Amino acid sequence: MAHEKNYTLRILHISDLHERGPRETESWRRQRVLGATWEHNLEAFTAAGPIDLVCFTGDAADWGKPGEYAAATAFFHAVLKKLSLPPERFFLVPGNHDIDRGLHLAEWQKLRETFSQMDGLTLSRWLRGSGKPPPGADTGWLEPVLARQAAYRQWLTELGREALLPERHDHGRVGYHVCPDFPALPFPIHLIGLDTAWLAGDEHDAQKLWLTDDQIMLHATDKKGNKFPGLRLVLCHHPLWDLADHAAAKNLLAEHADLLLRGHLHNAVLERSDDPDRGLVELAAGCLYEGHHADQYPNGCQLITLQLDGQRRPIKLNLGSGLGQSEAIGTTMTAVTSKATKGGCCGH
């Protein structure tokens, strides 16, 4: 009996650049991590085969200021050029450092205080624009809070990724769903970008952030609410347990996603959760550049190689992780355990 053909998808997963632009006072430290050594990393990655996608899971900027994004543009354009990829193969989501905390502080404080006393259904419907404001909430609070991402969203256009702007997608205010063309694959690849950062604003965000059911399901299902065929990749910034609606979000994503990529914690993580009806694999990338500890921090990235069968089912995930490490993690997508294998390499 003939063996079924398998397919490979290679993804560079990076996160947490924390670009400071004109506020950078230690350019030499950033250059040590993201200069020639970083370029050598990319060359090593491509020597093993072409990379198909670059996924960035938040915190391109350090304080969400317009001047910080120009330097971020130069960095990402250089990465794509080195990998011989067009902008259409670059996907990203905002992080809490892509929020300008100096904007609309009063509206944000009032909204977050109100949300702490609100049920998830009411909030979800109001955020998507299909429900009335919750009791105690003002209709004028929501748009100013979302406007704290104005510099990030303008940057998407300047970066050539205006296709990822929320207003171009079904929810309209947060998140996106894109299905790029991969002619060599017999199944579609769905990129689902979710915004966990829209309500962020201080150092006490944990358990106060909301994805909402509508943001997840309007981007993770078709117009009739059906699951997407093919491979479903979800990008977000925060770990799910940082969310006020983490239990509901995890259940929905376990049913509608194959792999979740995230950032925020500055450490590389592989997690697998299972129950009898659903399962979810989560990968955190570490950080490209840790703002405070700079070149003294074990900054990292992930090179993900997915082996897929003809029905898009993941057979195996090989993971090269960490700047300065020479070990990779290989794990079958049906197993909770992982084992070390040779293959990944990054520089410090």
CB 270 within 8 A of CB 300: no
pLDDT of residue 313: 64
Q: Taking 50 as the threshold, does the pLDDT of residue 345 lie above it?
A: no
Per-residue exposure over 296-331, b if at least 16 CB sit within 10 Å of its own CB, e if not: ebbbbbbbbbbbbeeebebebbbbbbbbebeebbbb
Summarised one tens digit per residue, pLDDT across range 144-180 is: 999 999 999 999 999 999 999 999 999 999 999 999 9
Quickly list DSSP for 93-122: ---GGGS-TTSSHHHHHHHHHHHTTS-HHH
Q: What is the mean pLDDT of residues 308-315?
A: 70
Place of tokens 């490979």: 8
pLDDT of residue 212: 97
What average pLDDT is seen over the chain? Answer: 88
pLDDT of residue 338: 25
CB 137 within 8 A of CB 111: yes
Please count the other Cβ atoms lying within 10 Å of the Cβ belonging to residue 136.
11
Beta strands in 88-172 (DSSP E): 90-92
Summarised one tens digit per residue, pLDDT across range 278-298 is: 678 999 999 999 988 999 999
CB 236 within 8 A of CB 93: yes
pLDDT of residue 241: 94
Summarised one tens digit per residue, pLDDT across range 20-44 is: 999 999 999 999 999 998 999 999 9
> Residue 148, SS3?
helix
Reference 265, options 92, 60, 33, 95; nearest CA is: 95
Instruction: For residue 314, name the pLDDT band (cuts at 50, 70, 90).
Output: low
Q: Taking 50 as the threshold, does the pLDDT of residue 342 lie above it?
A: no
Beta strands in 63-159 (DSSP E): 90-92
Q: What separation in angstroms does the CA of 281 have from each of 59, 161, 227, 332?
A: 22, 27, 18, 11
DSSP state of 213: H
The rounded distance, in Å, linking the Cα atoms of 96 and 8 is: 33
Question: Rounded to two decimals, what is the model's pTM?
Answer: 0.90
CB 240 within 8 A of CB 249: yes
CB 232 within 8 A of CB 220: yes
**Through-space distance between the first and last CA atoms of the chain, rounded to whole angstroms:** 47
CB 148 within 8 A of CB 97: no
Instruction: For residue 336, name the pLDDT band (cuts at 50, 70, 90).
Output: very low
pLDDT of residue 16: 98
Query: What residue ranges define each of the domains in the chain, with the CATH number in brackets?
Result: 7-342 (3.60.21.10)
Q: What is the mean pLDDT of residues 195-216?
A: 96
